[in-house]
């Protein structure tokens, strides 16, 4: 008999637990959010999203400014040895009377400088005897062509033109034959 009483008590406890769960579920179902609550919730989400975007915008703006400040750092770091070489060459020019040795030193420095720039993507493009192209050339003047073959072509190059990674950064200043 004691087992039967225990079974009834357990059943009653389980029924009470089920009733309590059912009441909680019904309370949640009957509890509807008012339009004001929905508006407040959406407003809160909007303000959080706006703040997050504003912080993102400020952070990227700051990173961009920092990038512009240090953009030329790598090229300048690579050019410092060339500057050192020029300083040594100038010191040697004062104490040396050998023009050939000075010329050789200057040529070495020039080649070093040119190689650094070429490694960074700088390229010189040939203009003489090519057709005049306003996309890469700037005509300084026109002269009568020395031969029929040079009509409309570049006769002389006053200033070299350069490209950086296939983009013209300095137009070649040229004389065009007509």
Superfamily of domain 123-178: Head domain of nucleotide exchange factor GrpE (2.30.22.10)
> Which tens digit of pLDDT belongs to each residue from 75-103?
888 889 999 988 888 888 888 888 888 88
Portion of the chain with pLDDT greater than 90, in percent:
41
**What is the rounded average pLDDT of the residues 105-116?**
92
First vs last Cα of the chain: how many Å apart? 125
Query: Interior CA angle at 112 toward 168 and 158, to 5°?
Result: 40
- What integer best gives the mean pLDDT of the chain? 85
pTM exceeds cut of 0.75: no
Note the pLDDT of residue 99. Answer: 84
Give 6 or 66, the one with higher predicted confidence.
66
Does 52 have pLDDT greater than 70?
yes
How is residue 138 written in tokens? Answer: 């700037």
Confidence band for 44, pLDDT divided at 50, 70 and 90:
very high
> Which tens digit of pLDDT belongs to each residue from 10-29?
677 677 777 777 777 665 55
Q: Where are the domains of the chain?
A: 68-120, 123-178
């Amino acid at each position: 008999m004691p087992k039967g009483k225990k079974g009834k008590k357990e059943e009653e406890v389980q029924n009470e637990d089920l009733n309590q769960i059912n009441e909680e579920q019904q309370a949640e179902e009957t509890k509807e959010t008012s339009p004001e609550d929905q508006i407040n919730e959406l407003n809160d989400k909007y303000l959080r999203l706006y703040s997050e975007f504003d912080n993102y915008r400020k952070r990227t703006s700051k990173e961009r400014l920092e990038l512009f400040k240090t953009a030329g750092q790598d090229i300048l770091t690579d050019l410092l040895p060339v500057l050192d070489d020029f300083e040594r060459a100038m010191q040697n020019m004062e104490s040396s009377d050998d023009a050939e040795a000075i010329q050789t030193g200057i040529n070495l420095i020039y080649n070093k400088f040119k190689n650094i720039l070429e490694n960074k993507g700088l390229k010189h493009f040939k203009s003489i005897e090519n057709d005049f192209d306003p996309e890469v050339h700037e005509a300084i003047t026109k002269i009568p062509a020395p031969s029929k073959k040079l009509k409309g072509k570049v006769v002389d190059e006053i200033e070299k033109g350069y490209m950086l990674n296939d983009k013209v950064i300095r137009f070649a200043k040229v004389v065009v034959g007509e």
